[in-house]
Amino acid sequence: MAKNIYFIGTAGSGKSSLVWAFKEWMTLQGLDCITVNLDPGAEYIPYDPDVDIRDWVKVEEVMRDYSLGPNGAQIVCADMMALNAKELADVIEKFRTPYVLVDTPGQMELFAFRQSSQVIVDALGREDSFLVFLSDPALARTPNGFVSTLLLCATVQFRFSVPFLNVLSKSDTLDEKHLAQLKEWADEPDALYAALTEGDFSAHNIQSIEFLKAMESVGVYRELTPVSAQTPFGIEDIYNAVQQSMEGGEDLQRD
């Protein structure tokens, strides 16, 4: 069975770029994989997808056929994807590839919070799925923003209940000081607590601390793996995490 790696994150977090970089890295390693675009409204993709949901559902066509605006059409498309899940899975199966890289919709909520995504994951094989959550450094660079990112990450984890990796995308856009700070917050919760209590100890900060305590208590406080699609950096760390989860650390056979 193919291993399905889903890349999910907020709009602009770099999902498509990371899918492109991951496929390029896999190819250089002599490992076969295909890319799947699940964004029916994508206007530009930095790679040529092997399987494209736009062959079944397109936002502009739904807007025209149902007299909807862009947001309404995106929601309808997200639900319509479920109707094509079986056919999508059949097409992917024909590639006979060990790895399927799935690029999810730009608006995270269209995949994370619609029941259609569960249908698609089940059709492709939930037991063979791994999820890469992209934390955007633009949000995560402040203490409150970092907690907000952790909350989004935890919410997605709860929604899908599949093996999971939290990565800091676009890490090349951060200087060494800010990158080290984010790594410290991820590795040492006490450092994040300290950052939240510095300066103005506002009600907002108190709320962030309570959220952080709750995430720690249920075991969803996760390490953060810096990655960059441009450098590239951290791509092998994603691969190793997938291998550890799905193959017990054993490497794939090269084709």
Confidence check: pLDDT of 252 > 70: no
Q: For residue 168, give the DSSP letter.
A: E
How much is the pLDDT for 189? 84
How much is the pLDDT for 199? 59
pLDDT tens per residue, range 140-186: 998 889 888 988 998 898 899 899 999 999 999 999 999 999 999 98
Residues in the chain: 255
More confident residue, 219 or 123: 123
How much is the pLDDT for 94? 97
**Domains of the chain from N-terminus onward:** 3-141+163-173+224-247 (3.40.50.300)
Confidence check: pLDDT of 202 > 70: no
Structure tokens at 171: 């890490």
Structure tokens at 194: 């300290």
Confidence check: pLDDT of 255 > 50: no
Percent of the chain with pLDDT over 70: 93
pLDDT tens per residue, range 64-110: 999 999 999 999 999 999 999 999 999 999 999 999 999 999 989 98
Cβ burial of 30 (10 Å; 0-12, 13-18, 19+) is exposed
Residue 225's alpha-carbon distances to 1, 103, 153, 238, in angstroms, are 27, 19, 13, 8
Burial per residue of 146-171, b for 16 or more beta-carbon CB atoms within 10 angstroms, e otherwise: bbbbbbbbbebbebbebbbbbbbbbb
How much is the pLDDT for 198? 78
Residues 6+ apart with CB under 8 A from 242: 3, 5, 130, 163, 165
